[in-house]
Structure 1
Amino acid sequence: MANDFDESSANEEASKGLSWWYSADVLSRDKSDKTAKRIRRISITDRLLRHPGRLSMVYFGALIIIVTGLLLLPISTSDIIFTNFPIAFFTAVSALSTCGIPVVNTGEYWSMFGQVVVLFSIQFGGLGVMTFASMVALGVSRRLKVSQRMLTANELGTTKLSEVKGVLTVVLGTSIIAEVLTFVLLLPDLFRVNHGNMGRTLWQALFYAVSAYNNTGFTPDATGLHVNRWGVGLPILISAFIGTLGFPVVLNLVQCARRRLSPKRWTLHTKLTLVTTAVLVATSLAWFLLVEWSNTGLFPADDPGMKMRRAMSAAVMPRSAGFDISWVPEVTNETKVFMSILMFIGAGSSSTAGGIRVTTFAVILLICRAAFTGHRDVTVFRRRIPRRIQMTAVSVTTACFALVMVGAMMLMFTTGCAFVDAVFEACSAFSLGGYSVGVASAGNPASLFILSAEMIVGRLGPLTIAYSISRPMAPEPIRYPQENIIVG
């Protein structure tokens, strides 16, 4: 303790003449002790939520490297040969991003080991997307007001905003329940399709169940969706549709059903997601029935019931999972443009599908409605949407549209394809729709790398953009005078 109160001349300059009170050694020690205490107070949860965008990039980057390496092995192919890097890399990115554009036939090119790698990639990719989307929401909510934080916690199914473990449990539980139910429902008809081969039936049911809920277009065989068999096509269709809603919506619906609450008690996010999704599906169904009714590629049979089944599949799948892509190149250019718009919009937030999200699209429409009707506030269902959400919707839409256009132009340069086909392929890759008109080719590695970049950015980009925009606005040190400009 003698050094703590050292009044020697050596301490005089450092202590500013206060060496009689504390020496420089004590001051520095006290400062370091406070810093150590502050560091110890930062929990693992805080560290995870501090940079969820970076964490998601590291997660997907590591998985891409691992899966690509596994698919490069000869054991992954049916012919026991080394796969060239572009095909392995593209397949890994397509599976992990839950896009599902197949550059080779999954059931014929890949061995059982390779198909297992693809299946695990789909599962980990889908879980990772929903988990990190939830963490982004938690990270953003920590910067909001208390009331807004409680609403966010309620939509994520947690009671505390720091419960990352609770969010992980909800995501994992929702996924497992949906996939198990789909698996059970698929067994009877797949057993008939495979003529009593139980081993093949179990494998196909598992693959379809995981692929459908995670909205990935990969299939374990060359038959696609089995849309002609309602016992197989309908469970896959329902599972894919539920996956497009996002687990916050599913969770909110289940909670309200348990408590026997009316739809009026649904959260605004649930209401907006369901209404927008219903409008998009109904519009898409009407389009395919009216515009493509005579298309034998989409409707090979004249049976009205069969046409309705195929129309329903075509109405739901473009925004999420690209099952049964054989008919896509045969549709008209008008339908390709329409499907590109649907794919660009995508599915619900915190879901396994991509796009700008249906709620983002809904907010854009609501902003336009408010502007055209001369209202200052953007409202829906008697609720006012914050300006921060409006800015996020506009920014995400603008950035993603620019990304799709750049990707389409690059595809035109490298492949020489038509503009409509380039936009279709770019929208499919960005929104993880899984459909293809043949632009992606194993013989053109440049196209595979361009579409892989679109899928990676489409998978992580909207989350990162939304997180960065949703941060609290810094106070402006200087506010300049306002002056109007002419727009439009």
Structure 2
Amino acid sequence: MKWRHPGQVVVAGFALATVVGTVLLMLPVSTETGEATGLLTALFTAVSAVCVTGLIVVDTPTYWSGFGEAVILGLIQVGGLGVMTLASVLAMLVAHRMGMRMQLFAQAETKSLGLGNVRSVVFGVIRLSLIVEAAVAVLLALRFGFGYDESFWRAVYLGVFHAVSAYNNAGFALFSDNLIGFATDPFVLFPIIVAVIIGGLGFPVIAEVLRRRERRGRRWSLHTRVTVLTYGALLAVGTVAVLLTEWRNPNTLGSLDLHHKLLVGLSHGVMPRTAGFNSLDLAHFEPTTLLVNDVLMFIGGGSAGTAGGIKVTTFALLGFVILAEIRGEPTVHVLGRRLPAEVQRQALTVALLGVGVVMIGTVALLAMTSFRLDEVLFESVSAFGTVGLSTGITAKIPAAGQLVLVALMFIGRLGPITMASALALRERPRRYELPEERPVVG
């Protein structure tokens, strides 16, 4: 079979990882009881892991054995780094070179801007991931060991699992209540928050920030400036929104003292960036809080990071497009640079396709279940944004609805543009232009 577009290989790679993960999770050795897992449960868990989402239909620490948890951890790592990034590294190790086709495939996965730097991007992604995961794992292992009297190897295991899950914005936890038991523990929450932010910003942004420290005087690129500013602004908005709407809620923040409220508020301001960890029971959230989280989850994190959503750059660029249109300006300027028309079209396409996918998923789930609209919408956006936050209805959704969530997670991880280009058989260049005519808008 001849691949016509690198996006097709990316989709095929994620599909293959899903199949392998599903088969492994169906084995009796993957469960605590030693019984084989049903196809749907295994498929849902595998997709949730490889798409670094975190939605679950069975309790991770009590249902899956150590082997099953290791499979989930491996799928998270593969999904976070990207199937084609790992394949590119293996190809270079075997052949000591990277061909043009492999560079194109790696470029499609890592979102690098040119073929010349694909090799350094691939190795940089691996290096950054291992450094951050190792550092967070050490901090968490020390806390679990000395703060909660876990045995040495258990503490190490917990540290590694949650570090990988946090950096890859997966949200899988080895505690039945996720992180609710650590809501007032900054030594657990802060390392996880930092890992989520670094993974969510994306390698290109982190690499450029680090390079600028070495070469003072160089200005950040437009992509980095837009990503950092928008990510920071949305982080502040999310934190303040949670604090304002849940401050007096006795089932969430109401029973906590001031500094613990601020800690938990920060945590839940970060997690909709698509991490999926929760230190509060989302089933008790106010409808306003859920709606704010819907917006934040849909936007997601940075491009080429482990977060999902339509990305903060897409959201920010559309804001600049709207601002230019309101001002009546013929071109769009962003932080001292002019925005090309094709980038504007791409941002609009990604956003509208995302809206369409979420709406279709929400309508389908509403037709299949008796849950409220705010619960179903939250679940759909969480799946599409590969977040993993839930009000607790995931396991109660019927089989057909869980398949809808599987589709939303898969599409959300790969991105509407990648999915569409992967399914396209060939490009059809326009050979002529039709006469221009302006319809009435609005």
TM-score, structure 1 as length reference? 0.81
- In 2, Cα distance between the equivalents of 1:316 and 1:232? 14
Q: Which residue of 2 aligns with 1:240?
A: 196
- In 2, Cα distance between the equivalents of 1:242 and 1:367? 28
- In 1, Cα distance between the equivalents of 2:106 and 2:168? 26
Q: Does the aligned pair in 2 maintain the 1:440–1:447 contact within 8 Å?
A: no
Residues 67-146 of structure 1 correspond to what in structure 2 (within 5 A)?
67-128=21-82, 131=85, 139=104
3-state secondary structure, aligned to 1:379: strand
- In 1, Cα distance between the equivalents of 2:279 and 2:210? 33
Q: Which residue of 1 aligns with 2:209?
A: 253
3-state secondary structure, aligned to 1:297: coil
Q: Which residue of 1 aligns with 2:229?
A: 275
- In 1, Cα distance between the equivalents of 2:291 and 2:397? 26
Deviates more, 1:288-297 or 1:374-383: 288-297
Deviates more, 1:240-249 or 1:225-234: 225-234
Q: Which residue of 1 aligns with 2:92?
A: none
- Cα 1:297–1:463 shift into 2, 3 Å: farther
- Letter matched to residue 243 of structure 1: G
CA shift, 1:401, in A, is 0.5
Q: Which residue of 2 aligns with 1:290?
A: 244
Q: Which residue of 2 aligns with 1:19?
A: none
Identical-pair percentage: 37
- In 2, Cα distance between the equivalents of 1:411 and 1:246? 32
- Cα 1:442–1:332 shift into 2, 3 Å: closer
Structure 1 or 2, whichever has the larger Rg, is 1
Provide, for residues 423-466 of structure 1, a one-character-per-residue CA deviation record: whole Å limited to 9, x for no partner: 11110000011111233226621221110010001111335168
2:141 to 187, 191, 199: 187
Q: Does the aligned pair in 1 maintain the 2:298–2:381 contact within 8 Å?
A: yes
CA shift, 1:163, in A, is 5.2
CA shift, 1:477, in A, is 3.5
Q: Does the aligned pair in 1 maintain the 2:56–2:395 contact within 8 Å?
A: no
Q: Which residue of 2 aligns with 1:387?
A: 341
3-state secondary structure, aligned to 2:174: coil
3-state secondary structure, aligned to 1:441: helix
Q: Which residue of 2 aligns with 1:439?
A: 393
Q: Which residue of 1 aligns with 2:95?
A: none
- Letter matched to residue 188 of structure 2: V
Q: Which residue of 2 aligns with 1:373?
A: 327
CA shift, 1:139, in A, is 4.7
Q: Which residue of 2 aligns with 1:456?
A: 410
- In 2, Cα distance between the equivalents of 1:230 and 1:56? 38
- Letter matched to residue 161 of structure 2: F
CA shift, 1:129, in A, is 6.5
Residues 324-339 of structure 1 correspond to what in structure 2 (within 5 A)?
324=278, 326-339=280-293
- Letter matched to residue 73 of structure 2: L
Provide, for residues 370-401 of structure 1, a one-character-per-residue CA deviation record: whole Å limited to 9, x for no partner: 00001111111110111110000001111110
- In 2, Cα distance between the equivalents of 1:82 and 1:438? 25
Q: Does the aligned pair in 2 maintain the 1:87–1:442 contact within 8 Å?
A: no
- Letter matched to residue 212 of structure 2: C
CA shift, 1:337, in A, is 1.3
Q: Does the aligned pair in 2 maintain the 1:354–1:432 contact within 8 Å?
A: yes
1:424 to 341, 365, 378: 378
Point out where structure 2 has 5 or more consecutive residues left out of the alignment.
89-99
Deviates more, 1:219-228 or 1:64-73: 219-228
Q: Does the aligned pair in 2 maintain the 1:347–1:355 contact within 8 Å?
A: yes
- Cα 1:111–1:442 shift into 2, 3 Å: farther
- Cα 1:467–1:373 shift into 2, 3 Å: farther
TM-score, structure 2 as length reference? 0.89
- In 2, Cα distance between the equivalents of 1:222 and 1:193? 19
Point out where structure 1 has 5 or more consecutive residues left out of the alignment.
1-46, 143-152
CA RMSD in angstroms, aligned pairs only:
2.8
Provide, for residues 201-232 of structure 1, a one-character-per-residue CA deviation record: whole Å limited to 9, x for no partner: 00000001100000011012225232321111
Q: Which residue of 2 aligns with 1:307?
A: 261
Deviates more, 1:353-362 or 1:460-469: 460-469
Q: Does the aligned pair in 1 maintain the 2:271–2:278 contact within 8 Å?
A: no
Q: Which residue of 1 aligns with 2:94?
A: none
Provide, for residues 50-109 of structure 1, a one-character-per-residue CA deviation record: whole Å limited to 9, x for no partner: 622111111111111111111111111111111111111100000000001122111111
- Letter matched to residue 166 of structure 2: A
- Letter matched to residue 326 of structure 2: F
- In 2, Cα distance between the equivalents of 1:78 and 1:220? 14
- In 2, Cα distance between the equivalents of 1:465 and 1:221? 34
- In 1, Cα distance between the equivalents of 2:256 and 2:393? 31
Provide, for residues 232-282 of structure 1, a one-character-per-residue CA deviation record: whole Å limited to 9, x for no partner: 1100011001111011000101111122345xx111100000110111111
- Alignment length, in residue pairs? 424
3-state secondary structure, aligned to 1:417: coil
- Cα 1:217–1:180 shift into 2, 3 Å: same
Provide, for residues 173-196 of structure 1, a one-character-per-residue CA deviation record: whole Å limited to 9, x for no partner: 111111111112222211124314
